[in-house]
């Protein structure tokens, strides 16, 4: 059984619902689906972001969102058990807009 379920697609974005924790495993499955790669051929998630930190941050608060780039895709994971994968990579040099919160 997969840890994610594809909800919808639109404009080079894929929307998933996490059906079984932890989020760190669910995001790997979502990227495998979107990129049509074997997970063994991908850069390890731990090389980009700490999987344990993702799981701890998202476990108890549905208002938390984690965003990062991985496998040439933008990834957003929320504490409300949603994952959004987009074709656009996040550019860390992009300035934060006035509408975005900065931690």
Q: Given this model, what pLDDT does residue 97 score?
A: 45
Let me know if residue 22 belongs to a domain: yes
Angle at 41 between CA 37 and CA 45, to 5 degrees: 95
Number of folded domains in the chain?
Answer: 1
How does strand 82-86 pair with strand 73-78?
A: antiparallel
Q: In what order do the strands lie in the sheet with 73-78?
A: 4-10, 13-18, 82-86, 73-78, 65-70
Q: Residue 23 and residue 21: Cα distance in Å, rounded? A: 5
pLDDT (mean) for 41-52: 94
Let me know if residue 62 belongs to a domain: yes
Let me know if residue 100 belongs to a domain: no
Q: Tens of pLDDT along 57-96?
A: 999 899 999 999 999 999 999 999 999 999 875 555 554 4
Average pLDDT taken over every residue of the chain: 87
What does the DSSP 8-state code read for residue 61?
-
Q: What pTM does this model have?
A: 0.81
Residue 17 has pLDDT above 90, yes or no: yes
Q: pLDDT band for position 102 (50/70/90)?
A: very low
Let me know if residue 96 belongs to a domain: no
Q: Given this model, what pLDDT does residue 89 score?
A: 59
Handedness of CA 49, 88, 57, 32 (dihedral sign): negative
Q: Given this model, what pLDDT does residue 15 score?
A: 97
Q: pLDDT band for position 2 (50/70/90)?
A: confident
Q: The domain spanning residue 51 has which CATH number?
A: 3.30.465
The range of the structural domain enclosing residue 13 comes to 4-86
Let me know if residue 102 belongs to a domain: no
């Amino acid at each position: 059984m997969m840890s994610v379920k594809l909800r919808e697609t639109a404009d080079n974005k894929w929307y998933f619902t996490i059906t079984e924790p932890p989020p760190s495993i669910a995001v790997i499955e979502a990227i495998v689906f979107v990129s049509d790669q074997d997970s063994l051929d991908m850069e390890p998630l731990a090389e980009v972001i700490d999987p344990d930190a993702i799981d701890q941050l998202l476990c108890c608060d549905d208002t938390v969102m984690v965003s990062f780039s991985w496998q040439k895709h933008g990834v957003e994971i929320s504490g409300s058990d949603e994952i959004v994968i987009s074709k656009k990579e996040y550019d860390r040099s992009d300035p934060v807009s006035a509408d975005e919160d900065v931690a």
